Amino acid sequence: MYLLYLDGSGSVKNPSERHFVLAGVAVFERQIYHLISSVDKFVSDLGLGDPRSVELHASVRANGSSPRGKARYGRTGSKSSSVGWSC
């Protein structure tokens, strides 16, 4: 089985936006543990604290805003740090 994550940016119904982007990542179920471990190590290496409380947002990096000190609320409702990153 594969796990699929899809995310969109922009709005099809908004005429002022020229682009709508839909992207996805499919990961084989047995590889998800290794992927999570790699991302947790990446966050730890950045020195941002507990990897389970940090959210990664590419938009923070893309729009030029400062990633440090920006609070976000995660899926659990707990306050977390936010950092921009790129590949």
Instruction: Count Cα atoms within 13 angstroms, Cβ side, for 16.
Output: 0
Q: State the first-to-last Cα distance of the chain, in angstroms, to the nearest integer.
A: 26
Contact 53, 80 (CB under 8 A): yes
> Which pTM was predicted?
0.52
Over the stretch 7-64, which tens digit does the pLDDT of each residue have? Answer: 888 888 888 988 888 999 999 999 999 999 998 998 899 888 888 888 877 665 555 5
Nearest to 30 by CA among 61, 58, 2: 2
The residue ranges of every structural domain in the chain are 2-83
Rg of the chain over Cα atoms, rounded to whole angstroms, equals: 15
